[in-house]
Amino acid sequence: MEKKKMMAVCVCMMSVFFVAVSLTALHAQTKPVELKWGHFVPTSHAMHAEVIDPLTKEIEKATEGRVKITIYPGSTLAKPADLYDSVVTGIADFVYTLPAYSPGRLPLSEGPELPFLFSSSKHVTETLYGLWEKFPEFRKEFAEVKMCWIWAGDPGQLFTRKPVRTMADLKGMKIRVHGPATKDLASAFGASPITSPVGEQYEMLKRGVIDGVFTPWSASFHFRLHEVTSHATIVNAYVPIMVTVMSKETFSKLSPKDQKIVDEMIGKKVALKGAGIYDDLALKSIDVHKKAGMQVYDLPSAEMEKWRSATEPQYKAWSAKMDGKGLPGKAFFEEMVKLSRTYAPK
């Protein structure tokens, strides 16, 4: 009798154990994978409100809640200069950032920021994907991460506190730039470049630390530069290259099913969506600035030619610098120019 009781107790305990194990396994399966997405713009910025935030919600819905992403906007997870490294080191799972915020780390990515090559965000984004497909060296720059998409903002203009009508007017002016290519650009025009993230330019202008900025219309709109500058000189001088990347380790930990879902929701289609938003914002921004009293000035063709000529040596210098690093600088530049002509707005 005692034996039967002991056996019954053992069976009961084993049943409880297996139920507990099953419940733990079920809980592990249903508990969502919590991911972090860091970027440097405010929640009002179109890239957050119209691209990143909706995408995180779509991923959560498509994975039936298995993948949940929390966004950390406005550099709350990492400073702009640290964003790229934060995804490499695992602090972040996704980041949206500019390669120029990590100078020298992604050298070929600096090429498309060379002056006077592109006229719109879509124009350069199409070119970027052509370069991505052709040059393994370009893809290798991002070997530490999983590329989600690469694209660019609208062309950079010159916003200043006093009028700039000629290149000579820029001489000695302190102009904020965002990276190596734009630093060389400002120097070629005779200005004194000061590198800083886009989010700092408003206060720098307000306090008189700088006299102006090179930045796109869309960025001026988002960061309200019409409140701290009164003049815009149309130069279409460069385009800021941007990337959204993901931690390779994070991606590898997702189930094959969820990896497939994420892969289907990123890529060139998102890049072109973002590019279209930037181009539309540029047009909207011009109207907003003019209504705010901004004086907008188009350089005459003869003056514009002086600005172009001043920066022309940068093409050979950049190509030679890349070749010196063992990268296909000359070939990359020549292909970039060729693709720029192919994708130029008709």
- What tens digit of pLDDT does each residue of 138-172 get? 999 999 999 999 999 999 999 999 999 999 999 99
Residue 21 banded pLDDT, cuts 50, 70, 90: very low
Using CA atoms, how far apart are residues 321 and 63, in angstroms rounded to an integer?
45
For 315-332, what is each residue's pLDDT tens digit?
999 999 999 999 999 999
Q: What residue ranges define each of the domains in the chain, with the CATH number in brackets?
A: 31-152+240-278 (3.40.190.170), 156-239+284-316 (3.40.190.170)
Pair 245, 146: CB distance under 8 Å? yes
Tell me what the pLDDT averaged over the chain comes to: 92
Residue 94 banded pLDDT, cuts 50, 70, 90: very high
At residue 264, does pLDDT exceed 80? Answer: yes
At residue 130, does pLDDT exceed 50? Answer: yes
Residues 6+ away with beta carbon under 8 Å from 262: 59, 67, 246, 251, 254
- In the block, which residue shows the tokens 């707005």? 345
pTM metric for this prediction: 0.87
Instruction: State the virtual CA torsion across 42, 47, 48, 49 in degrees, nearest 10.
Output: 110
Phi, psi at 149, each rounded to 5°? -165, 155
Specify the pLDDT at position 346. Answer: 79
Residue 5 banded pLDDT, cuts 50, 70, 90: low
Name the amino acid, one letter, at 33.
V
Pair 66, 51: CB distance under 8 Å? no
Residues 6+ away with beta carbon under 8 Å from 140: none
Specify the pLDDT at position 4. Answer: 55
At residue 201, does pLDDT exceed 60? Answer: yes
Residue 28 banded pLDDT, cuts 50, 70, 90: very low
Specify the pLDDT at position 31. Answer: 86
What is 72-108 written as a DSSP string? Answer: E-TTSSS-GGGHHHHHHHTS-SEEEE-GGGSTTTSGG
